[in-house]
Amino acid sequence: MRDVLVLIHDDVGQQSRLQAAFDLVRASQGKLLCVDLAEPDAKGARATRGGSLVMEAEVAPLATVRDQIEASGLSAQWIERRDAMLPALSETAALADLIVMSAPRADLFPPTYAAISELLVTADTPIVAVPPESPGICLNGEVLICWDGSREAHHAMVSAIPLLRRASTVTIVEIDDGSLKLPASQAQTLLAQRNIASHVRSDLAFGEKAAFVILEQIDLLKADYVVMGGFGHSRLVENIFGGVTERLLHESPVPLFLKH
């Protein structure tokens, strides 16, 4: 996960996104891919940065962000886009090993839930959704893996292995609605084969209770981030994690590592 794409836009989630991207790039000794988003035809916009349009109010914050990135000493590539958020990220996702976005909150602009939902389906790239209040992402602490036996849960866990190797503790929370086909013990074995020790906690949960169980475990275990299979809105068959993904995106106090 060497190339980490992060959205650069002056909103309430900018600093938490940026700090999480710093943490991930430092861990991998990789590179930041900074997508400098300028929404087209914005009211009060002026031409800057090679003809892109950017709000006057964004010029100073953007300079501050550039200074932060330069001061970090990290390798960075800037990609300027005069576009809406979803097409800008969709077309640049293939360049990255990981995408850092803000988890959706009511006061966040531009709104991110639809973009995350769509990218989970269309981009073959994991997403780290960072709450705006988060100080970044701690990679050497407690990790919680959500497990329901689905392919999505399996793919998310396997994709996160480079990060899981850095964790001090890995806990697999098995969510069973009575139809679990692949138990968490098999996920535990897969991780053990890669020299990653883990613990399993199991709970019967139906419908909305699954989200409550996971949020409770985040608090109980003091998890630093969560790994889970993500589901976009174009999914045809509903599964226990369909609504859970949406609720956690809106309510999780810690970053979510998502993979469809």
Per-residue pLDDT of the chain (260 residues; tens, 9 = 90+): 789 999 888 888 999 999 999 999 999 999 999 998 776 554 444 444 433 334 444 455 678 888 999 999 999 999 988 877 888 888 888 899 999 999 987 666 566 777 888 888 888 899 999 999 999 999 999 999 999 888 889 999 999 999 999 999 999 999 887 778 789 999 999 999 999 999 999 988 766 688 889 999 999 999 999 999 865 433 433 444 457 888 898 899 999 999 98
Q: Where are the beta strands (DSSP E) in the chain?
A: 3-8, 31-38, 45-48, 52-55, 75-82, 98-102, 127-130, 142-147, 169-176, 199-204, 225-229, 256-259
> With helix as H, strand as E and coil as C, how does 77-133 read?
EEEEEECCHHHHHHHHHHHCCEEEEECCCCCCCCCCHHHHHHHHHHCCCCEEEECCC
8 A C-beta contact, residue 204 and residue 177: yes
Whole-angstrom distance, CA of residue 89 vs CA of residue 69: 20
CA 17 to chain centre: 9
> Which residues, 6+ apart, have CB-to-CB distance to 124 below 8 Å?
none
Residue 106 pLDDT: 67
Whole-angstrom distance, CA of residue 211 vs CA of residue 230: 13
Residue with tokens 């209040």: 133
Q: If you count them, how many residues does the chain have?
A: 260
pTM above 0.75, yes or no: yes
Residue 239, sorted as left (phi over 0), alpha (psi -120 to 50) or beta, turns out to be beta
Whole-angstrom distance, CA of residue 1 vs CA of residue 159: 9
